[in-house]
Structure 1
Amino acid sequence: MSLIRVSNLTFAYDGSYDNIFEEVSFQIDTDWKLGFTGRNGRGKTTFLNLLLGKYEYSGTISAQVQFEYFPYPVDHKENLTLDVIRDIFPDYVHWELMRELSLLKVSEDVLDRPFDSLSNGEQTKVMLATLFLKENSFLLIDEPTNHLDMEARKLVSSYLRNKNGFILVSHDRAFLDHCVDHILSINKTNIEIRKGNFSDWWTNKEMQDEFELAENEKLKKDIKRLSDAAKRTNNWSHEVEKTKNGTRNSGSKVDKGYIGHKSAKMMKRSKNIEQRQQSAIEDRSHLLKNIESSESLKISQLVYHKSQLAELDHVSIQYGDKTVCSDISFTVEQGERIALSGKNGSGKSSILKLILGEDIDYTGTFRKGSGLKISYVSQDTAHLRGSLSDYARENGIDESLFKSILRKLDFARVQFEKDISSYSGGQKKKVLIAKSLCENVHLHIWDEPLNFIDVISRMQIEELLLEHKPTLLFVEHDREFCDNIATQVVEL
């Protein structure tokens, strides 16, 4: 066991006026299984790159371990997998590699195949197995679940559960809960470490938020009461002071010493009230700093004139001589939220494309309502560029609602001025989801919409879907999201 110590870390990118980190200090035990969470754009990958020594920073990071980053960059993916492993770790011991691959249910024959012929899941497993062979190394595992199906996620999380000495960036709640014992969270105003898994951290955060909201409401009332009391006391003090130059009702002269004393007493009381008021204001200023924004939104979906929007009856889809899925039957009814589930390569995206109207070879019966309007969120975000205002105008959506949804999903107003091409992967996916929710359609079709999207935003997207209940057909490997959202699951 050793410690990674971070002291007074401050960092900003060249040309930026905003610090990503400012005077941050904490320490990490190298035996921990550390889950790393925080909103998109808050600096998770940046922090991993700082550990790797990629940027200059002020402050200190001290460690007695070597850092290894996942995913490891592979320059020649056409090489055999065994050669790729040798490039990553020339001194590996073969039987140890086979032990790790066996734990991840990867067959030995992948070693003799070109690396780029492996599926995303196989590539992920091979790389993790290789990196965990390195002794005295601390792994920085950056979003390994992207493009992994549910079965592969369960397998990889079980593998990590039996390891230690890593930081894991993941936005999949079930995955984090299964394999971490501490959480490092980048909040709005600080970084904190807590023992436990993601659910433990989230429960604690909700309790803290509720306490701060209640305390904030109490202090608001106290400040108003003290403010009113200070005004009254001030007025009384001035009224008393005025009588110093007057006479009593009986005609006798006033006791100026007594009145001055009384006035001073009231003034002192007023000052005390003001001090208490200021103290309450200061106490209040320490609250609510890490409560995530939540705006009320109005989202509507078009109502179709029939309850059934689409039907697949014993549909099989082919690409050339290859059948990707066979004998699929289900209907899309208005108001339903249907999850297509199955391994990668089982034909989920092909079914979505068929319903979208793409030219797909199939057998069986497929029916779709005439005049059906569909909004599609694809896996690809490479085409996104330009300003948000231009994007809203080009797509014929309400710019105000579009930006309100993005605000709810933690877009700072400064982001609205930037070109979309400069956004992080998670921010680009949020743009696609916000656009889709703004479109006046009968059906939303989403293909792995949550890749790269932070866990709190995932929960807020769930809230939006459950509140507004749009008809939705989707593919998503986040088990918690599917369990919470789907009214029906179609297994391929």
Structure 2
Amino acid sequence: MSLINVTNLTFAYDGSYNNIFEDVSFQIDTDWKLGFTGRNGRGKTTFLNLLLGKYEYSGTISAKVGFDYFPFQVTDKEKLTYEIIEEVYPDYEHWQLVRELTLLKVSEDALYRPFVSLSNGEQTKVLLATLFLKENNFLLIDEPTNHLDLHARKLVSDYLRNKSGFILVSHDRSFLDNCVDHILAINKTTIEIQQGNFSAWWENKKRQDDFELAENEKLRKDMRRLSEAAKRTSGWSDEVEKSKNGTRNSGSKVDKGYVGHKAAKMMKRSKSIEQRQLAAADERGKLLKNVETADSLKISQTAYHKSRLVELDRVSIFYGEKEACRDVSFTIERGERIALSGRNGSGKSSILKLICGEDLAYTGNFRIGSQLRISYVSQDTSHLQGNLTDYARANGIDESLFKSILRKLDFARVQFEKDISSFSGGQKKKVLIAKSLCENVHLHVWDEPLNFIDVISRMQIEELLLEHEPTILFVEHDSEFCDNIATKIIEL
């Protein structure tokens, strides 16, 4: 066991006026299994890069361990897998590597195949196994679950549960709950560490947020009451001041001592109220700094004139000689929320593309409703570029609604001026989802929409789909999202 000490860490990117981190201090035990969470754009990957020494910063980061980052860059994916491993860790023991691969259900044969021929899941597992062979290294694991199917996620999560000494960035609640023992959270203004899994941290955060909201309301009422009292005191002081001139105004004699005593008493009361107002304002200033807002989202939707939108009967899809899927049969009825499930490579994305009108070779019967309007969210975000105003105009959606949804998904207004190509992976996916929510359609088709998207935004999207009940067909490997949303699961 050793400690990683972060002391008075402050960092901002060149040319930026806003600090990503400001005077942050905390300690990490190198035996911990840390889940790293926070809204998109808060600086999770930035912090990992600071640990790796990629940027200059003020403050200190001290550690007696080395750091390794996942996923590391594979420059030539045509090489055999064992050659890639040798480049990363030349001193590995073959039997140890085989042991790790066996735990991850990867056959030894994979070592002698070109790395590019491995599935996304196999590549993830091979690289993780290689990194965990290194001793005295602390692993920085950045979103390993993207593109992993449910089965592979469970395997990798179980594997990590039996390891230690890592920071894991993931937005999959079930995945985190299964394999971490501490949470490292980037809040709006602080970084905090808490023992336990994600669900325990989230419950504690909700309790803290609810307490602060209640305290804020109580102090707001106190300040209003004190303000009214201050006005009354001011009125009394004016009356006392007038009474000093009593002989001139009414001819009666004024007790100057009594008036002076009363004025002093009024002054003391006024000072007391002022101090209490300042104290209440100071207390309010300490509250709500880390309360996460998760306003409800809106959706544009149109009811289709028939109950059945799509029907597939023993459909098989082909790419040349290669069969993507075989004998797929299901229907999409109005109001259904259907999760399309199956291992990677089972043809899920091909089914979605066929329904969205892509010209694919297929056999079987495929029927789609006439004039059915569909909104499609793809896995790929590489085509996104330009500013948000031009993007909204090019896609024929309401710009104010589009930007309002993004604001609720924690976009800062400064993002509206930037080029979309500079956004983080999670922010780009939010752009695609916000566009889909603005489109007046009968059916939403979403292909792995939650990749890179933070947990709080996932919960907002869940609430939206449960409240408005749009017809949606989706592929998603976040098991909790599927359990909460799907009215029907189609297993390929």
Fold shared, TM-score > 0.5 on shorter chain: yes
Paired residue secondary structure (1:132): helix
Distance (Å, rounded) in 2 between the aligned partners of 1:388 and 1:252: 76
Distance in 2 separating the partners of 1:75 and 1:357: 36
Structure-2 residue corresponding to 1:56 = 56
Aligned equivalents of 1:132, 1:298: Cα separation in 2 = 44
SS in 1 for 2:309: strand
Which residue number corresponds to residue 439 of structure 1? 439
The 3-state SS of whatever aligns with 2:457 is helix
Q: Is the 8 A contact 1:385 1:419 kept in 2?
A: yes
Higher deviation after alignment, 253-262 or 339-348: 253-262
CA distance in 2, matches of 1:94, 1:357: 48
User: 2: CA distance between counterparts of 1:56 and 1:469?
Assistant: 48
Question: Counterpart in 2 of 1:267?
Answer: 267
Question: What 5-or-longer segments of structure 1 have no aligned partner?
Answer: none
Indicate the residue corresponding to 1:277 in structure 2: 277
Aligned to 1:105: 105
- Residue 468 of structure 1: aligned partner: 468
Q: CA deviation at 1:313?
A: 1.2
Aligned-pair CA distance for 1:326: 1.5
2:214 matches 1:214:
yes
The answer as to whether partners of 1:35 and 1:167 remain within 8 angstroms in 2 is yes
User: Deviation at 1:297?
Assistant: 4.3
Cα distance per residue 1:167-187 (max 9 Å; x no partner): 000010000000000000000
The CA RMSD over aligned residues, in Å, is: 1.2
Q: Is the 8 A contact 1:447 1:475 kept in 2?
A: yes
User: Is the Cα–Cα contact under 8 Å of residues 32 and 166 in structure 1 kept in the other structure?
Assistant: yes
Q: Does 1:337 align with 2:332?
A: no
Q: What is the aligned-residue identity percentage?
A: 80
Alignment of 1:246-265 (within 5 A): 246-247=246-247, 251-265=251-265
Q: Deviations over 1:393-418 (max 9, x none)?
A: 11111111111110111001111111
Partner of 1:21: 21
Aligned to 1:308: 308
* Rounded Cα–Cα distance in structure 1 between residues aligned with 2:67 and 2:24: 20
2:348 aligns with 348
Q: Which residue of 2 aligns with 1:377?
A: 377
Deviations 1:117-163 (A, max 9, x none): 10110000000101000010000000000010000000000000000
Aligned-residue offset at 1:319:
2.0
Partner of 1:291, secondary structure, is coil
Q: Contact 1:292–1:410 (CA<8 Å) still a contact in 2?
A: no
Q: Give the Å deviation of 1:13.
A: 1.0
Separation in 2 of the partners of 1:340 and 1:136?
Answer: 42
CA contact (8 A) 1:12 1:18 kept: yes
Q: Which runs of 5+ in 2 are unaligned?
A: none
Name the CA distance, whole Å, in 1 between partners of 2:295 and 2:314. 44
Distance 2:61 2:18 in 1: 21
Q: Does the aligned pair in 2 maintain the 1:315–1:365 contact within 8 Å? A: yes
Q: CA deviation at 1:248?
A: 10
Distance change in 2, residues 1:249/1:11 (3 Å): closer
Counterpart for residue 454 of structure 1: 454
Contact 1:142/1:168, CA 8 A, preserved across alignment: yes
Secondary structure of the residue aligned to 2:133 is: coil
Question: Aligned-pair distance for 1:468?
Answer: 1.7
CA contact (8 A) 1:426 1:452 kept: yes
3-state SS of the aligned residue for 1:402? helix
Q: Once structures 1 and 2 are overlaid, which stretch shifts more, 297-306 or 85-94?
A: 297-306
- Please tell me whether the aligned partners of residues 297 and 460 of structure 2 are also in contact (alpha carbons under 8 angstroms): no
> Does the CA-based 8 Å contact 1:36-1:44 persist in structure 2?
yes
Instruction: Report the counterpart of residue 236 of structure 1 in structure 2.
Output: 236
So what's the TM-score if we normalise by structure 1?
A: 0.98
Displacement of 1:464 = 1.5
- 1:18 Cα shift? 1.1
Q: Which amino acid aligns with 2:186?
A: I
Taking the aligned partners of 2:250 and 2:71, their CA distance within structure 1 comes to: 94
Match of 1:174 in 2: 174
Contact persistence 1:300–1:468 (CA under 8 A): no
Residues 356, 166 of structure 1: alpha-carbon distance in 2 compared, 3 angstrom cutoff: same
Q: What is the deviation of 1:320?
A: 2.1
Q: Letter of the aligned partner of 1:191 in structure 2?
A: I
User: 1:132 and 2:132 equivalent?
Assistant: yes
Which 4+ stretches in 1 moved above 6 angstroms? Answer: none
The answer to whether the 8 Å contact 1:444/1:470 transfers is yes
State the match for 2:95 in structure 1: 95
Counterpart for residue 481 of structure 1: 481
* Structure 2 match to 1:200: 200
**Deviation at 1:57?**
0.8
Cα distance in structure 2, aligned partners of 1:120 and 1:89: 21
Q: Which secondary structure does the structure 2 equivalent of 1:25 belong to?
A: strand
Describe the superposition over 1:5-63 as per-residue Cα deviations: whole angstroms up to 9, x where unpaired.
00011111111111111111001000000000011111111111111111111111000
